[in-house]
């Protein structure tokens, strides 16, 4: 089963949502993405990290099976 990590703006802070539950509180989107990637790296293979953009659509930021550990441009 693939684990998806979503970085979202919730109650005035950036948070990570996994399995429908929010956790963490980050002051910036980038710091929340970095934390989500760290968690995703520890999760099962196939984990993915998504974040909301300016128009509230999710874009993929990281995927474990692609062989890289970096954020997309």
pTM for the model stands at 0.73
Task: Output the DSSP codes for the chain.
Answer: ---EEEEEEETTEEEEEETTEEEEEESSHHHHHHHHHHHHHHS-TT-EEEEE-TTS-EEEEEEGGGS--S---
User: What's the structural domain count of the chain?
Assistant: 1
> Between residues 19 and 61, which one has the greater pLDDT?
19
Report if residue 71 sits inside a domain: no
Report if residue 73 sits inside a domain: no
Domain containing 8: what range? 4-66
Report if residue 72 sits inside a domain: no
pLDDT, tens only, 11-47: 999 999 999 999 999 999 999 999 999 999 998 778 9
């Amino acid at each position: 089963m693939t684990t998806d990590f979503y970085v979202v703006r919730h109650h005035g802070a950036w948070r990570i949502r996994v399995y429908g539950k929010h956790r963490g509180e980050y002051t910036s989107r980038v710091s929340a993405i970095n934390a989500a990637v760290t968690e995703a790296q520890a999760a099962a293979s196939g984990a993915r990290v998504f974040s909301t953009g300016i128009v509230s659509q999710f874009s993929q930021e990281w995927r474990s099976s692609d062989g890289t550990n970096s954020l997309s441009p």
